[in-house]
Amino acid sequence: MAKTLAVSPLAPASFPELPVIGGVDFAVAEAGVRYAGRTDVMLARLVPGSTVAGVFTRSATRSAPVLDCQEKLGGDQASGAAIIVNSGNSNAFTGRNGVDATRAVTTAVAAALDLPETRVFSSSTGVIGEPLPHDRITAKLDELKGALAPGGIAAAARAIMTTDTFPKGSAATVTLPGGTVQIAGIAKGSGMIAPDMATMLVYIFTDAKIGFDALQPMVSEISDSTFNCITVDSDTSTSDTLLMAATGASGVAVEAGNDAFRAALHKVMLDLAHQVVRDGEGATKFVEINVTGAASDADARTHALAIANSPLVKTAIAGEDPNWGRIVMAIGKSGAAADRDLLTIRFGDVLVAENGWVSPDYREEQGAAVMKQPEIPINVTLGLGQGSATVWTCDLTHGYISINADYRS
């Protein structure tokens, strides 16, 4: 039985109403991969001609499903496609068994849906290092096939959860010269969040008609400014996968340079990324770190991540302690260029430190008031150039320890 965790205090009020995306059907099942009494497998079927793009973890120990998906991107789109996802077991660090298990699942899905095996994309999330009981998944394929229906995306969002305390979804509508297109996405992720590609598991669907050569660069680029800018605990998963499918069911063509579609996709991806942080294991604070005035954008990102990943910074935030010295420490250790005497730090709009020293007008109670808020902006100006970056994170509480200390038990 999966443990029931208290819903994050940063969770949205409810799961959003997501549009039905033409050309994709969903189904879920209880396969008992690890959890009992809850859905843990999701199947999505895509119509012929669908484009599938993706980004994945760059972990050196990435899972068999990740490696399999990477090989399949950009293949022949004439046939349909499918995405099969299980929670509870990541099928990572399982040697040849992992490869065989992945192939067993994708081959069975291909046979059930009359698809080429090369058009079946699989993902697994959960415990690392345990063999995937793939027979429990394949035994459910007849049930899944029979349940496929257009309106099942919300159920799919729940089936892919592990330590998540709420399902994550987001959507956008775009009106283009050729008509209106819809975008809807779901994600799972709560811990082991410091992606080096995208994040955790994310599935985004659109009824727009867009080719692989246009969609893949767009997905990769937007991932860099959304999912690659979040961190819960500085740990990159072996299984991080983002897949985006464009079914073309609307008949509305989208070219690579379409700014309106790009903006809508960015909105969906950023919303999902923020929801992952808001569901950070044990999180009680959502933190936005803005770094400006760096020697380069890359340096700004290095500084921002050093702050976001510092256990000392994160625990101070958890304790609502406006300990700005820990921000100074994180900047100094990051390895990127910094000058103590040019540094400015603000908690929200409160000027805390400038010119290498605490601001003469700063009062501790001002910083403490900001730290009591559920959403905390930390703004750093380095005074060295035009580089800037924004990173999102959460605090580090005892809840994180409790969840992860007994994760497998």
Residues carrying an active site annotation: 199
- Give the H or E element holding residue 293: strand 286-294
Q: Between the CA atoms of 70, 72, 76 and 80, what dihedral angle is there, to the nearest 10 degrees?
A: -110
Which residue from 93, 52, 57 is spatially nearest to 199, judged by alpha carbons? Answer: 57
253/275 Cα distance (integer angstroms): 30
Which residue from 97, 96, 105 is spatially nearest to 136, judged by alpha carbons? Answer: 105
What is the DSSP-derived secondary structure letter of residue 231?
Answer: -
Backbone angles phi, psi at 158, to 5 degrees: -80, -35
Three-state DSSP at 44 gives: strand
What is the DSSP-derived secondary structure letter of residue 230?
Answer: B
121/106 Cα distance (integer angstroms): 7
Q: 303 is written with which tokens?
A: 């500084």
- Give the H or E element holding residue 81: strand 81-89
What is the DSSP-derived secondary structure letter of residue 48?
Answer: T
**In this structure, are residues 180 and 29 in contact, taking their beta carbons and an 8 Å threshold?**
no
* Residue 322: HSE in the Cβ half-sphere, 13 Å Cα cutoff: 24
Three-state DSSP at 237 gives: coil
Alpha helices in 43-122 (DSSP H): 64-72, 95-113
**In this structure, are residues 266 and 281 in contact, taking their beta carbons and an 8 Å threshold?**
no
164/161 Cα distance (integer angstroms): 6
Which residue from 39, 30, 57, 81 is spatially nearest to 247, judged by alpha carbons? Answer: 81
**In this structure, are residues 403 and 191 in contact, taking their beta carbons and an 8 Å threshold?**
yes
**Which residue(s) pair with 380 in the sheet?**
291, 345
Which residue from 127, 55, 57 is spatially nearest to 98, judged by alpha carbons? Answer: 127
Three-state DSSP at 114 gives: coil
